Structure formats: structure tokens, C-alpha cells
Amino acid sequence: MVEQRKPIPVAEAVKKVIGQAQLLGTEMVSLDQSYNRILTEPIIAKHPVPPFDRSPYDGFAIISKYSIGASGDNRIKFTVIDHIGAGSVSEKLLSGNEAIRIMTGAPLPKNADAIVMFEQTVESKDSFTIRKPFTPLENVSQKGEDIKQSETVIERGNLIHPGTVALLATFGYAQVCVSKQPIVGILSTGTELLDVADKLVPGKIRNSNGPMIAAQLARMGILCKTYGLSADKLDKSFEIVKKAAEETDCLITTGGVSVGDFDFLPAIYERLGAQILFNKVAMRPGSVTTVAVADNKYLFGLSGNPSACFTGFELFVRPALLKMMGAEKLYLPHTTAILGEDFTKANPFTRFIRAVYDGHTIKPAGFNKSNAVASIAKGNALIVLPDGTRGFKSGDTVDVLLLGVEEGSALWKIE
Ligand SMILES: Nc1nc2c(c(=O)[nH]1)N[C@H]1C(S)=C(S)[C@@H](COP(=O)(O)OP(=O)(O)OC[C@H]3O[C@@H](n4cnc5c(N)ncnc54)[C@H](O)[C@@H]3O)O[C@H]1N2
Ligand code: MOO
Ligand SMILES: [Mg+2]
């Protein structure tokens, strides 16, 4: 008799998975190695930004009150007494209608309080005239206008992206405290599997799941240990899984999780004494996705079917690894979009359809069965259709999860 499995809703499955995450420690990395890592402490402003009042334009620094009364009919003249570029400080004090020629980024001279852009002047040798009055602080980039001293600019748990790198550099973080990364193993199970470089022979296919998952991890900045291929032999597979689980924080297997005669992952989990969090999710593809925990380590039993495998990674593995790294934004960013074509197939389970999203409209990325490969390659998003009996029409608004976005969302929006 085939085993009857009880499907649980996707949201519940996600919750169960992230509930098991064991926090990894922290480590220091150099700033140039910090991209894509998770900050373990907030970035607090060590000084104001900018650190001094400065000129945002190429022009002249003046004392604004000496420009009062300037107009087209009454041009006021200023005499230039010094000349500075960014990186230099003028030691001169202005008096009356004196000005300092100043370039963008240079600090405002001591008693100047306004900047006149070159375009606002008529220049002669060592002097210029203006035709409008300037107010105090006009055209001045003020100290702290971007960031106040001691302000928490970025909270801990955020991903370090190029903007974060710029901020860290601004405050002089040559070393950055980030969370350690999980050691993740990948094992592709299936007697039918060949290596990428192998020639096709009858009944066999090349392993596409292993390299795909390695790339999904790489997209998160995580390296992996590859355990290669394992034929569907219970004892042998058990030994490899046991060893791989010992050597990693998280082992991702693909294939062998369903109810087939050669689907041995359920038996392997049992032999390991692993706690099964679930072995059926009310979703398509990936309904047979199984997640277990043994010795505080994750065992992700992703389906062998490529689209199911891909989806299982994005929905479950990704947030779990991010949670282990102390990240706050665990989930694929959610949006809604207009369905660009009919999708009439009814859904007994929540359906995740690999799709092409152009920022407004979204369309399924072609052949969309669980065993499809092309749609994974073509898609940049997942359409999420709720369970129910009706199909969906072109023009309907649908839920969308975005793929490949650097930083995730703190909220899970799918039931
Ligand atoms: N009687 C039932 N049969 C099946 C059920 C079920 O509920 N009752 N579930 C179906 C669903 S849904 C899926 S999905 C698959 C899941 O199967 P497994 O996770 O056990 O995976 P395999 O049987 O090992 O392989 C499935 C399919 O994927 C191909 N595959 C496997 N590994 C790779 C790889 N590394 N690269 C590329 N392709 C791979 C494999 O050759 C099979 O074609 O079970 C259904 N059956
Ligand atoms: O797990 Mo299967 O992918 O639902 O089709
Ligand atoms: Mg199977």
C-alpha cells in the first residue's frame, strides 16, 4: 500500500522550516569581501555625513548679506581673494564683498555662508558680478544633512549590497562583522543521472539539479560542497547522506523523496533518526518536498523534478539559510501583476508558475510542468495562484514572487 502523506499549507511549511534555524556565529571580513554577506551589527554613524559644510557646486563662496539688493539693474561686484578645490581648506577670512573661488566638494570657507554658481555670475579677471541676492546657506551642502552623527543608518540583519559597502567605506570600516556562512552540501540522487560532461545513453539524463542548486546558492553568495551523484541504492545512499550530513550544516538532496520503489530518502531519514518536519506540501510543483532535521542540521529533500527542485530551494532552503545567518529579510520579494494570458488549469494546491515579469504584466514562461527545465531558464519570477477550482484569465491581478533580487523581504505574503 502506498504511503498516504498529509499535505500542509505552504505558509505553514515555511514557518516550520525557519523555526529550526540554528544561528551561525559571526566573523570579520575585509570590506572588499563583504558584498552579499549579512550584517551582524547595525551601522551607526561615527561622524556626520558630510563631515563639514561644503560646496555642492563649482563657483564662489560669499557672505550672503553682501548680496542684498542685487538685481539685473543693480549688479553687485565681488572680488576673488582665494581659490580652492576639493581636498583643500582656505585659511582666508572674507570681509565685505570678497569671495573665494571654490570647487564642488571643497569645505565652505570660515565665514562664508552661500555659494554662487559660475552660471549665476558674469566674470572678469579676479572679480565677478551677480544679479540676484543670496540667502544664508543658499547652495550649501550642510554638515550632517545626509547622516547625523550616532544615527543608526542600517539595522543589523541586512544584506550588504553595493550601497551598504559605500556606507561602510564612508565610516572607515576596513573590516566588517558579518555572520558566518553555512556549509551546504549538495547530493544528486538517481540511478539515471550522468555527469554534465557525459554522453547521453538510453534511459539516462544529465544531472541538472546539482549545478542549478550550486548556482542558486552562489546567487546568495554561498559556496557549497558537492557530493556528486548517488545511485538509488539504499545502503550506499544512506552512507553518503550520513557522511555528508556530518560534514555540513545543511544537506540538500535532490530526487528520491516520493513514493517510488527507488525513492529511498524517506527510509534514509528514518535510519538517521531524523525528525521529519513535513513530507508533503500543498503546492505544485514540489508537493513531495521533504524537510527533516537531524542533530540540529537541515536535510532538505528536494524533488528530483527540476522545476519542483528549483521552487523548493527558493521557497524553503533560501529563507532557512538566511535565517541561519541572522538575516531579517528572508523571503522572496512579493508584488502583484497583471496576468498576460489565460491560465485555465484549476489548482487543487497553491501553484507556483515560472514566469516572465516585465514590471507590469506577467506571463508563464512556457511549458510549466514539474519536470520542466526550459521555464526555469526563461523565468524571472513566480506567479502564485491560490488553491481552488477556478482558472485565471488574462487581465486578472495575481501574486508574484520575484527571483534573483539581491535583498529579500521581511514578510511572507502567500497563504
Ligand atoms: N504514485 C506517485 N508518483 C509520484 C508522486 C506521487 O505523489 N505519487 N509524486 C510525483 C511528484 S509530484 C513528483 S515531483 C515526483 C518526485 O519524485 P522524486 O522527488 O522522488 O524524484 P525522482 O523520482 O528521483 O525523480 C523525478 C524526476 O526528476 C528527474 N531527476 C531526478 N534528479 C534529477 C537531477 N539531478 N537532474 C535532472 N533531473 C532529475 C528524474 O529523472 C525523474 O524524471 O514524483 C512523482 N511521482
Ligand atoms: O512535487 Mo511534484 O513537483 O508537485 O509535481
Ligand atoms: Mg521518485
Can you give the CATH number for the domain in which 275 is found?
A: 3.40.980.10
Residue 193 and residue 271 in one domain: yes
pLDDT at 390: 80
Residue 122 and residue 230 in one domain: no
CA 288/CA 212 separation, integer angstroms: 19
Q: What type of residue is 24?
A: L
Residue 75 and residue 115 in one domain: yes
318 φ, ψ to 5°? -55, -55
Is the Cβ atom of 195 under 6 angstroms away from ligand 1?
A: no
pLDDT at 182: 97
Best residue for ligand 1 mutational test, from 305, 370, 373 (most atoms within 8 Å of Cβ)? 305
Is the Cβ atom of 253 under 6 angstroms away from ligand 2?
A: no
Residue 299 and residue 194 in one domain: yes
CA 55/CA 112 separation, integer angstroms: 11
Question: Which ligand 1 atom sits nearest the alpha carbon of residue 303?
Answer: 19
Best residue for ligand 2 mutational test, from 265, 280, 290, 305 (most atoms within 8 Å of Cβ)? 305
pLDDT at 1: 64
CATH number of the CATH domain containing 91: 2.170.190.11
Residue 68 and residue 88 in one domain: yes
Whether the CA torsion 33, 50, 45, 330 is positive or negative: it is: negative
Is the Cβ atom of 306 under 6 angstroms away from ligand 2?
A: no
Question: Which ligand 2 atom sits nearest the alpha carbon of residue 369?
Answer: 5
Residue 95 and residue 174 in one domain: no
Residue 194 and residue 301 in one domain: yes
Residue 154 and residue 107 in one domain: no
Contact in structure between 288 and 303 (CB atoms under 8 Å): yes
Task: Give ion ligand 3 contacts, CB < 5 A.
Answer: 258, 260, 263
CATH number of the CATH domain containing 33: 3.90.105.10
Cell numbers standing for residue 130:
551677480
Question: Which ligand 1 atom sits nearest the alpha carbon of residue 258?
Answer: 20
Is the Cβ atom of 55 under 6 angstroms away from ligand 1?
A: no
DSSP E strands in 255-385: the ranges are 275-278, 283-284, 290-294, 297-302, 334-339, 350-357, 361-364, 381-385
In a domain, 5, yes or no: no
CA of 116 to the centre of ligand 2 (A): 67
In a domain, 4, yes or no: no
Is the Cβ atom of 288 under 6 angstroms away from ligand 2?
A: yes
Beta pairing, strands 152-154 & 43-44 = antiparallel
For cell 531558464, the residue is 377
What domain range includes position 160?
29-49+149-179
Instruction: Say whether 190 sits in a helix, a strand or coil.
Output: coil
* Atom 8 of ligand 1, nearest CA residue: 259
Residue 156 and residue 98 in one domain: no
Q: Exposure pattern of 118-152 as b/e (b: 16+ CB <10 Å)? A: eebbeeeeebbebeebbeeeebbbebbeebeeeee
CA 55/CA 53 separation, integer angstroms: 7
Q: What type of residue is 149?
A: Q
CATH number of the CATH domain containing 346: 2.40.340.10
pLDDT averaged per 10 residues, the chain (length 415): 85 97 97 97 97 98 98 97 97 97 98 98 97 98 98 97 98 98 98 98 98 97 96 97 97 97 96 97 96 96 98 98 97 97 89 96 93 96 90 94 94 87
Best residue for ligand 1 mutational test, from 216, 258, 299, 309 (most atoms within 8 Å of Cβ)? 258
The model's pTM is 0.94
In a domain, 3, yes or no: no
Contact in structure between 11 and 412 (CB atoms under 8 Å): yes
Is the Cβ atom of 282 under 6 angstroms away from ligand 1?
A: no
In a domain, 317, yes or no: no
Longest dimension (CA), the chain: 100
CA 84/CA 141 separation, integer angstroms: 16
* Atom 10 of ligand 1, nearest CA residue: 258
Residue 272 and residue 373 in one domain: no
Contact in structure between 186 and 226 (CB atoms under 8 Å): yes
CA 331/CA 326 separation, integer angstroms: 13
Task: Please state the domain count of the chain.
Answer: 4
Nearest to 337 by CA among 411, 405, 394, 410: 394
Residue 194 and residue 280 in one domain: yes
Question: Which ligand 2 atom sits nearest the alpha carbon of residue 303?
Answer: 1
In a domain, 310, yes or no: no
CA 293/CA 277 separation, integer angstroms: 7
Residue 278 and residue 194 in one domain: yes
